[in-house]
Amino acid sequence: MVVNNKVDSLSYDVEAPPAQAPTTPAVVSAPPTPRGEAPAMTTTAAAELHKVSVPERRSTAKALRQRLAEVFFPDDPLHQFKNQSSARRLVLALQYFFPIFHWGSDYSLRLLRSDVGISYAKLANLPPIIGLYSSFVPPLIYSLLGSSRDLAVGPVSIASLVMGSMLRQAVSPDQEPILYLQLAFTSTFFAGVFQASLGFLRLGFIVDFLSKATLTGFMGGAAIIVSLQQLKGLLGIIHFTSQMGFVQVMHSVFKHHDEWAWQTILMGVAFLAVLLTTRHISARNPKLFWVSAAAPLTSVIISTIISFVSKAHGISVIGDLPKGLNPPSANMLTFSGSYVGLALNTGIMTGILSLTEGIAVGRTFASINNYQVDGNKEMMAIGVMNMAGSCASCYVTTGSFSRSAVNYSAGCKTAVSNIVMASAVLVTLLFLMPLFHYTPNVILSAIIITAVIGLIDVRGAARLWKVDKLDFLACMAAFLGVLLVSVQMGLAIAVGISLFKILLQVTRPNMVVKGVVPGTASYRSMAQYREAMRVPSFLVVGVESAIYFANSMYLGERIMRFLREEDERAAKCNQCPVRCIILDMSAVAAIDTSGLDALAELKKVLEKRNIELVLANPVGSVTERLYNSVVGKTFGSDRVFFSVAEAVAAAPHKTQP
């Protein structure tokens, strides 16, 4: 990509790597110099040096208050309460904590017509009725507390998979179904507490440690695992492994090949083909969204009729499902015993994943419809929703991309779509449950496979390979971790790689050697701008990261390596050695005491070699800390410059090449 950039009436192109960008010099021509090197610098009569200003002095309390406000309240949520009457503040507070009061006053029949959409519950490895329960209470609560107009909530495949795999390692849902339900509800409660706490304490940035690359790999691997788990229903296998690994699942599939039922396979493959075809049709033509949206329900109805007519010969069916509203389950929450740790770990894991997915989906549709979603409010809404749901026979729920996409395509405009969905589930729970007696389990497996297959983002992985090889490595590590080891290990790898990447960028910041672009006063990376030329006797180094204790030693080592390489090049070309190092700090956003000490130590080392170290263009916070420390006095105001250009122009007053 080439972007035209005009400087001093001359036209230059911003190039892709070999060549980069930062500051400004003031130079005049001198006698011819070797190719690739700028003429020797001389000071012009008109050269003017600008003083580097120190920000207005703040008290410690004020500085701390401003810093905490930036960390925990970057969106300034209390701004709307300023200069308002007490009554108005009460109304705004109600609208803030219960967004339904904000958009409810403007609700109309036209919006109601838009909000009528179609949705269905994805089933985890809990009883099917729990999936329906989880599609009734949580949407009602979210419609009151959620800030997204487009998010449709309910059970999602990834959180269901993680919960099932973690709990099933300790408790069998077949042998101890009551204990398994207790742990599922307790895990959901812990997930809700964790999510609401993050929102209340304004700690939503913690969720951001799962990068898009690792999530792509994790969700792709999890989607394959979910699909493989459905082979039990798709093939009619009775005895199936409780493990989640690819190898173990495939071994169980072929080990029990004698249990395969051809009637089940025939029905499963046929309906899976239909569901995938409708999905493809809707993807090719968004106006036909209703084709894929209606396909699951239509498949359930048709397969149930076929099963009823054939008396379910050779096909496993759901059986009797209890009628009625969600039974209370607060008495099933357990906070003591040997399984509390498992429930807590499962709750945190599923809480993180469901938050990440829900907020990402909400922000995606908010961006499409040009409004903002408050991440911390969403965390509180999802957390309260799961806490309440755990007391009403529901397990972990969050925003579902597939449901939200259907709502968006159907023209839904507000959170009332969640109320409409809950109403449909209510009617089903009260009156339609007997109709599902003959629903084949195989159709549920086909629906789940169709739902999760879209999580396998091959094109996204290909883009990662093209743009960032390290991101691609993180993606594949998470993918293979889920696929070959376990879901928990895949999630651990995803988080670990995300943290490692952050640590790598912090401890090994990018540093570049800069040269002056001919005809301009700009110093740019010589690795990016091939036409940039060195300045004799000078080494201009750009630091493109904050300087902290974690990278301060590397900073000194890297600059000394740049100096050695530059001296070797100068000696080879019979040129002047470096006499002044200019540290361009325009991209250094912050510095701590370890960083200041590292600069002071580097200055001492260079002075012993008769080389001067000067700083150019420090930002406000760096300048403030510099002049508040002893290091600032060591450098003095005559070694801290407004720009690289002024540092070069002023240097001859102090050093001679």
- Mean pLDDT in residue range 524-528: 89
3-state secondary structure of 597: helix
| 32 prior amide bond cis, ω within 30 | no
Q: What is the pLDDT of residue 406?
A: 67
Alpha-carbon distances of 208 from 72, 288, 411, 469, 499, rounded to whole Å? 14, 35, 30, 20, 11
Of 26 and 211, the structure prediction assigns the larger pLDDT to: 211
What's the mean pLDDT in 238-261?
80
Vertex 354: Cα angle to 351 and 360 (nearest 5): 130
Residue 182: pLDDT band with limits 50, 70, 90 = very high
pLDDT at 605: 92
So what's the pLDDT on residue 9? 37
For residue 318, what pLDDT is reported? Answer: 80
Each residue's pLDDT tens digit, 564-600: 999 898 888 888 888 999 999 988 988 999 999 999 9
Q: For residues 263 and 58, which has the higher predicted lDDT (pLDDT)? A: 263
The pLDDT value recorded for residue 48 is 67
Whole-number pLDDT of residue 435: 84
Where do the structural domains in the chain lie, given as residue ranges?
111-211+260-455, 510-654
In the prediction, which pLDDT does 288 show? Answer: 80
The answer to whether residues 530 and 513 touch, using CB atoms and an 8 Å cutoff, is: no
- Which fold is adopted by the domain 510-654? Transcription Regulator spoIIAA (3.30.750)
Q: Are 147 and 99 in contact (CB under 8 A)?
A: yes
Main-chain dihedrals φ then ψ at residue 525, nearest 5 degrees: -60, 130
Q: What is the mean pLDDT of residues 374-383?
A: 86
Look at residue 77 and tell me whether its pLDDT is greater than 80: no
- Whose tokens are 């500051």? That residue is 23
Assessment of whether the complete model's pTM goes beyond 0.95: no
List pLDDT tens digits, range 107-152.
444 433 333 332 333 334 578 788 888 889 999 998 888 888 788 8
Mean pLDDT for the stretch of residues 391-412: 79
Confidence of residue 26 (pLDDT cuts 50, 70, 90): very low
Closest CA to 609 of 583, 579, 635: 579
Q: Which two tokens stand for residue 160?
A: 């269901």
On whether the CB atoms of residues 575 and 536 are closer than 8 A, the answer is yes
Which whole number is the average pLDDT over 75-89? Answer: 71
pLDDT > 90: what percent of the chain?
19
Which has more pLDDT, 550 or 35?
A: 550
pLDDT of residue 117: 38
Other CB atoms within a 10 A radius of the CB of residue 52 amount to 19
DSSP 115: H
Mean of pLDDT values over 167-177: 84
More confident residue, 252 or 87: 252
Residue-wise pLDDT for 298-352, tens only, equals 888 898 898 888 876 778 888 888 888 899 999 999 998 889 999 999 999 899 8
As a whole number of Å, the CA-based R_g of the chain is: 31
Instruction: State yes or no: pLDDT of 38 exceeds 70.
Output: no
Higher pLDDT, 608 or 211: 608
pLDDT category, 4, cuts 50, 70, 90? very low
User: Does pLDDT of 507 surpass 50?
Assistant: yes
Q: Where is average pLDDT lowest: 37-41, 141-145, 395-399?
A: 37-41
Parallel, antiparallel or unpaired: strands 10-14 and 3-7: antiparallel
Q: Which of 288-297, 375-384, 409-418 has the highest mean pLDDT?
A: 375-384
pLDDT bracket for residue 166 (50, 70, 90): confident
Asked whether the predicted pLDDT for residue 560 surpasses 90, the reply is: yes
DSSP per-residue string spanning 169-204? TTS-TTT-HHHHHHHHHHHHHHHHHHHHHHHHTT-G
pLDDT of 510 over the 50 cut: yes
Average pLDDT for the chain: 79
